[in-house]
Chains A and B, each alone.
Chain A
Amino acid sequence: MQDTNKFKLGLFVTISLFVFIAAVLSMGVFDSLFKSRAHMATFVEESVQGLNSGSAVKFRGVPIGSISDITIIMESRTVRIDMEIDLSKFKTTLGKNIFTTPSIPAPEFYKYLHSEIDKGLCCRIEPDGITGIKYIEMDFFKDVDARHAGPEFQPGLRNGIFFMPSTPSLMSSLRFNMTEILANIATIDFRKISEETISLLERANKTLNDPRLDNLLNDAETILKKASETVETLNGTLTPEKLDLTLAELDKTIRSIRLLSDGLEKTLATSKIPQTTASIRELSDSFSTGDSSIKMTILKLNEALDAMTDLIQYINDNPSSVLHGKGRAKQ
């Protein structure tokens, strides 16, 4: 057996160990031992497909931690997502060397979260590209309602875990809206619309095939032709000079009408119309009174004529009464 090249073997072992230690350190194996962490949880009412233990948690796009557990709450049919937050990602001082600035302690971080929640901070599931992988995004989402319903969903620190409010993901909202739109579309009676459309088309077809429509069209065509001829005649007749003359005469006429109307206005102003009207009214009243007098007179005259007729009749029957006077009535 050959002798071992111990230098080569030592070099190999040293390089291997160095590479191994470098790889392990760069992978952050001992991070959990030295880094301070905070625990958070949130509840969502949608599918968490694409979200796994170890998925990223980001605050306005900055990776700040990972998901530690995903469980189902049976009573409320919601999904609870537990997260571990690396507090070294949160610094308190601006403008200083970030490597020497210490990370904030967990109670201060929870206090900070509380104040930010009041300003609208909440969690949302976001897709990470087209791969189907998802992550938790913490941000100030505008025009969304963070869920606060129910005591278990109220944000705050309970049993060492900070509960964050959540809001439905964009996809979830989109799916809900789409479902609603589709439900509304489903209520439309397409069959009835189709039948009505067919009926309308049939009627339109009938109307179009009606021979009277052809006559109408012919008449319309004739009228249009005549109108066209008239327009042409007018064009020929109404030369610009004639048109100017006509307009000038029209202008004169309008002026005369205006003068006449001015004169009328003056006459009306001086004609004491109220007094004249009152006189006419009085005259009318007197006519009305005279009319009734005439009626009375005629009635009396009528009565007189009746009496005369009776008298003449009596004389005719008893001529002697002219000499003897009116006798007694026979019994």
Chain B
Amino acid sequence: MTEKTNLIAGVTGDWEIVIGLEVHAQVTSDAKLFSGAATTFGAEPNTQVSLVDAAMPGMLPVINWKCVEQAVRTGLGLKAQINRYSVFDRKNYFYPDLPQGYQISQYLQPIVGEGEIEIDLEGGAVKTVGIERLHLEQDAGKSLHDQHPDLSFVDLNRSGVALMEIVSRPDMHSAGEAQAYVKKLRAILRYLGTCDGNMEQGSMRADVNVSVRKPGDELGTRCEIKNVNSIRFIGQAIEHEARRQIDVIEDGGKINQETRLFDPKRGETRSMRSKEEAHDYRYFPDPDLLPLTFSAEFVDDIARTLPELPDDKKKRFMDDYGLSAYDAGVLVSEAENADFFELAAKGRDAKATANMVIGSVFAGLNKAGLTIADSPVQAEQVGQLVDLISDQTISSRIAKDVFDLMFDEGSDQGRDPSDIVEEKGLKQVTDTGAIEAAVDAVIAANPDKVEQAKAKPKMAGWFVGQVMQSTGGKANPQAVNQLVLAKLGIEDQ
């Protein structure tokens, strides 16, 4: 059931969006699906093209077994049915960047069948989205339409690169759910090492199927928004498309089943003229390729090498480290982030470490536009910093300053926190005599405030602040607090 909050208001009442996604994920492999040409991104045009990829007369496909392994691995990661007998079909259509005039894909008998993904929603809720299937197929080349006034240019470097098309069930009902699905899918693929998930380079893109209906009604006519290449755009495209469809229907119109394109500059979808013709792909089994078969042992061998996946890791972080669902979710979103945290937390207070990793490290990286691999502060150093707080060498406030010195560009960047603390004399003052003297000094200098505080105990905080200031923040805040209360004669609350 759709939650009330997912409904969109229209003039005729509330509407429900129904979303299904077909995600095209580039298989991580050195060579293409059916040829020995390279798959690296950004090469000069037509340099990573074999005779097979250019569909020269008489050329034949030979499957790259790594891509089969990767598909099985992904299927296992999606808890899906693995089909030990699958068939490559030809999907026939004409397009300048489709050299063969057909795409080798899998139609009736895909390599992976039904599976599921748990997606994490805002507020910590979890929802299961069904996976209908995953199949292997070839990518097309790339057409450039803006290089010449009368011509389109074709680069076949991508032609023949292996893709996994992962098809969800229409189980999502808001832009947020669709985005959470893509995020989770991307995390799983990255954990598995089967797709780098790099949406900017086109390693992952989504065809978004959107329809609207009145809650409880039959499914509406859907439109497919092709090739949306960022999570943000997926959200924008869904919101715009749902609104458009509601407006059309409420104005008495009908939705035509069609392919649409999302224009990020305008934030809207528009009909694709070139795809208007009714499709008849004339799928049939590719006579150049025998059925794809493999043994149960082959699947078992892959299953044995599967890493811990995000959901399991999250559960373990909650169970073993006592982290909140939210914190655990943030930490496991990327395998490298989770590894960083576990290294930092080893043998110390996991909650405090998680706070520092999320609040300082991730926040800093985010701001600087860096990934965890480029972090100037190492996991061990984060751990050391946590230790310095827990053994009361420094206060949390000083720790923040120390972290900034370690993280930001400058002479202290990347240094161990203990060295910085030592060198800059940032050690917390725990000597009660020294703190008492500082408290006495503040009390003596502010007799009027002392009177006020006796009437209004909350004023004690002002004294604590003054003492911390006069000690350069190094005084142990708890000791200061206790002394202030004692000296002012206020009962600890």
A, B in one complex = no
Binding site for B on A (CB under 8 A): none
